[in-house]
Amino acid sequence: MKYTFSRKQLAIPYALFLVLFVILPLFVVIGYAFTDNAGHISFHNFFAFFQSAKTVGTLIYSIVIALVTTVFCLLIAYPTAYILAKMGLKANQALLMLFVLPMWINFTLRITALKEILTLMEDNLAMHPFLNTIICMVYDFLPFMILPLYNALVKLDNSYIEAAQDLGAGKFHLFVKVILPLSVPGIVSGVTMVFLPSMTNYVVLDMVYNSTYIMGSLIGSYFSSYDWHNGSVISIILLMIICLITVVSNQFGETKNNQKISTLK
C-alpha cells in the first residue's frame, strides 16, 4: 500500500526548525533581557538603555543611516525596475540578472573591492566617511529594492494604463495617479527589505568607518564581552522596532490598495 504524506506531516521539519532555531533562542534572549545578573526579573536593563547617551545616540545614528540608505536605494531602484519591466522579456531578464549577480558574490569580498575604489577616490576627492558608508550600504542592498519593485511593475495591468491614456492623462498624471499607486506593494516590500537590515549591518562600518557603531555592532560588542543582558535588551528593542515598522508598512500597503481599488471603481 502506497503511503502519502499529508500537508501537516510535510510541515513537521519546518516546524522543528522554527522551534529549535527561532522560538527557543528568542525565549533565551527574552529571559536575559528581563533578568539581572542574579537571575531576578528586572526592567533595569531597559531603563539603562534609554538613559545612556551612547546607546540612544547609536539607535538614532542607525535609524539615520537606514533612512538615507533606503531613500537612495528607492530613488535608484524605481526607475531601474520600471525600465526593466517595460523592456522585452528576454532583454529584461538578462539585465535583471546583471543587477542580481552581485548578490552571488561574497559580501565581504564585494565591500573590500568597493572600499579600494573609495580609497582611490579619496586621494582626489574629499570623501566623508559617512558618505562612504552610505555608498557601501546602497551598493549592498540595491538588488533587494530592485527585485520587489520589478515584480510589482512587471505585473501591472496595461488596461489601467490604456484607460488613463484614453481619458487624456499625460505622462506625469499617468505615473502619479496610476503607475505609482499600483506599485505601492513593491515599494513597501523593498523599503522593508532594505531599511531593517541596514540598521544592523555593522560589517560595512567595521570595514569602511571603524570609529562608529550602529545597533548591530553594539549588540556584537555586548555579546563578545559576555554581557548577555544588555545585548539581549538591544535585540528585543530592535525586534520591537522591526515589528512596528512591519505592521505600519502592511497597514500602509493595505490602505493604498483599498484606495487604489476605490479609485479604479
CB hemisphere CA count around 74 (13 angstroms): 19
Residue, of 70 and 203, whose pLDDT is higher: 70
The verdict on residue 33 lying in a domain is no
What is the predicted pLDDT for the residue at 78? 93
Number of domain units in the chain? 1
pLDDT of residue 212 exceeding 90, the answer is no
Reading phi first (left if > 0) and then psi (alpha if -120 to 50, else beta), residue 14 is in alpha
Q: Is residue 220 part of a domain?
A: yes
Question: What is the spatial distance between Cα 194 and Cα 217, in angstroms, rounded to a whole number?
Answer: 18
pLDDT at site 221: 82
Residue 124 within a domain = yes
Q: What is the per-residue pLDDT for 1?
A: 54
- Residue 67 has a pLDDT of 93
What is the model's pLDDT at position 5? 65
* Structure confidence at residue 71 as a pLDDT band (50, 70, 90): very high
- 214, three cell numbers: 550602529
- Confidence (pLDDT) at 262: 54
Q: Are the CB atoms for 223 and 229 separated by under 8 Å?
A: no
Q: Is 160 a member of any domain?
A: yes
The set of cell numbers assigned to 29 is 534572549
pLDDT tens digits for range 19-32: 998 899 999 999 99
Q: Tell me the percentage of the chain whose pLDDT exceeds 70.
A: 87
Calpha distance 124→132 (Å, rounded) = 14
Share of the chain above pLDDT 90, in %: 13
State how far the Cα of 114 lies from the Cα of 208, in Å rounded to an integer: 9
Place of cell 568597493: 114
Q: What's the helix, strand, coil split of the chain in %, to 5? A: 80, 0, 20
> Closest by alpha carbon to 72, among 241, 190, 227, 201?
190
User: Is position 34 within any domain?
Assistant: no
Mean pLDDT value across residues 49-64: 89
206 inside domain: yes
Do 149 and 156 meet the contact criterion of CB atoms below 8 Å apart? Answer: no
Whether 59 is covered by a domain: the verdict is: yes
pLDDT of residue 90: 65
Most confident stretch, 39-53, 112-126, 159-173: 39-53
Residue 102 confidence (pLDDT): 73
Weakest-pLDDT range from 4-13, 28-37, 53-62: 4-13
Residue 96 neighbours by CB distance under 10 Å: 20
Do 161 and 126 meet the contact criterion of CB atoms below 8 Å apart?
no
What's the pLDDT band for 2 if we cut at 50, 70, 90? low
Residue 171 lies in a domain: yes
Mean pLDDT of 43-60: 88
Supply the pLDDT for residue 215: 82
What CATH number has the domain bearing residue 99? Answer: 1.10.3720.10
C-alpha 140/C-alpha 155 separation (Å) is: 26
Instruction: Give residue-wise pLDDT tens across range 148-180.
Output: 998 888 888 778 777 887 778 788 888 888 888
Where in the sequence is the domain holding 251, given as residue range(s)?
53-225+239-264
What's the pLDDT score for residue 69?
A: 94
Band the pLDDT of 98: cuts 50, 70, 90. Answer: confident
